[in-house]
Amino acid sequence: MNVPFINREIQVQTALKYTSGFQQLSFKHSLQMARSALDEMSATGAFERTASTFRNIISRDPGSRFPAESGRYHLYISYACPWASRCLAYLNIKGLDQAISFTSVKSKWERTKDSDEHMGWVFASSSAEEPGAEPDPLNGAKNIRELYEFASTNYSGKYTVPVLWDKKLKTIVNNESSDIIRMFNSEFNDIAGNAALDLYPPHLQSQINEINEWIYDGINNGVYRCGFAKKQEPYDEAVQKLYETLDKCEMILSKQRYLCGDQVTEADIRLFVTLIRFDEVYAVHFKCNKKLLREFPHLFNYTKDVFQIPGMSSTVNMEHIKKHYYGSHPTINPYGIIPQGPNIDYSSPHDREKFSK
Ligand SMILES: N[C@@H](CCC(=O)N[C@@H](CS)C(=O)NCC(=O)O)C(=O)O
């Protein structure tokens, strides 16, 4: 359901009302809204991710509510977050860096309000505070939560990144990365530096959709289900599924360069963002240590291959990734100690070209 746009007029008026500064919500309301991934737990102790709320679509049609205009949209990300990083990856590899600006928050979650305990993404107070993190250049928000409250007075979900922001209507267009990457792929081609690159070509769409589904379930979300499980059984189930799915990918990639064949597609970018975090974080922090990524020869070389696509490497900020995961989940890592290794060099040579000859 598209809650924020049920009544657009009210929403725009609210946004305008708040332009001079963010209004504090009542204490009671703040408590109701203070949710994070660490609260998404079923009765069985299994992690269950909730759906995104803002699902508006930018269109190449100039008459649409959100037309694909250069300079109009801003992407708020965290370098730590795999979902946000896949949006940044698209922004770069599609050559949209001149058309769409972006800001990364600081790596570690902090308190977002004095009046409740919520921990979430916060902006840097200056560019000097943490390399890669910046203050909010548009709204002067202190944190991502303020952007959600600015865009919707009755929002009751999590304050997640990515957030795709409309500078003109001063609101959130979309906070679901799987939508955002599709828009970046197809809707901005009139202004994209690399319009010819189609990561979701019509002839591969059903194959990509099918692959996305089992990779999301087993790997992208699977590592979180391992890490956030609060009981042995859901953890064991998630680990089993994770490694079955990794084995399946390894088998596919033993025969071809990318998941759909010779051509890099959306399915590869979606898999990559989890693989690049695997040995550095998930193996330790989320207890995904049955086998390391670097013990899967094809998957490991494949990760290097995708990392070396022009525009990809700058989307991987391992400092932010490690600082975030090890530092933001005190129930998993109470002392916030960051393991020193393994510091893998993904720019080193790989063997994947052999499949394209
Ligand atoms: N469905 C969303 C998920 C985004 C998401 O879960 N982001 C995490 C960071 S990796 C987040 O911002 N979490 C904030 C919280 O849990 O409070 C998408 O793919 O865009």
User: Catalytic positions, please?
Assistant: 81, 224
Q: What is the mean pLDDT of residues 319-342?
A: 97
Candidate of 160, 320, 325, 331 to mutate for ligand 1, largest count of ligand atoms within 8 Å of Cβ: 160
Does 127 have pLDDT greater than 50? yes
The answer to whether 121 is a known ligand-binding residue is yes
Model confidence band, residue 256 (pLDDT cutoffs 50, 70, 90): very high
Is the Cβ atom of 163 under 6 angstroms away from ligand 1?
A: no
Residue 90 assigned to a binding site: no
Ligand 1 site, residue 277, Cβ cutoff 6 A: no
Is the CB–ligand 1 distance for residue 222 below 6 Å? Answer: no
46 falls in which pLDDT band (50, 70, 90)?
confident
pLDDT digits (tens, 9 = 90+) for 153-204: 889 899 999 999 999 999 999 999 999 999 999 999 999 999 999 999 999 9
Question: How much is the pLDDT for 52?
Answer: 75
Q: Is 14 in the pocket of ligand 1 (CB under 6 A)?
A: no
- Residue 120 clears pLDDT 50, i.e. is over it: yes
Residue 35 confidence (pLDDT)? 65
Which domains can be identified in the chain, with CATH numbers? 73-187 (3.40.30.10), 202-355 (1.20.1050.10)
Q: E-strand spans in 66-123? A: 73-77, 101-104, 110-111, 119-120
Distance from the alpha carbon of residue 301 to the mean position of ligand 1, in angstroms: 28
CB within 8 Å of 133: residues ≥ 6 apart: 104, 105, 106, 107, 123, 124, 127, 320
Question: What's the mean pLDDT in 129-152?
Answer: 97
Which of 10-24, 204-218, 234-248 comes out lowest in average pLDDT?
10-24
Q: What is the pTM of this model?
A: 0.89
Best residue among 52, 75, 78, 81 to mutate for probing ligand 1, ranked by most atoms within 8 Å of CB: 81
User: Is 161 assigned to a binding site?
Assistant: yes
Looking at the predicted structure, is the pLDDT value of residue 205 above 70? yes
Which residues, in sequence order, are CB contacts of 175 under 8 Å at separation 6+?
A: 52, 53, 54, 160, 161, 162, 163, 164
In the chain, the N- to C-terminal Cα span, in Å, equals 47
Ligand 1 mean position to 324 CA, how many Å?
13
Percent above pLDDT 70 for the chain: 89
Closest by CA to 226, choosing from 84, 329, 345, is: 329
pLDDT for the residue numbered 325 = 98
What torsion do the CA atoms of 160, 166, 170, 172 make, to the nearest 10 degrees? -30
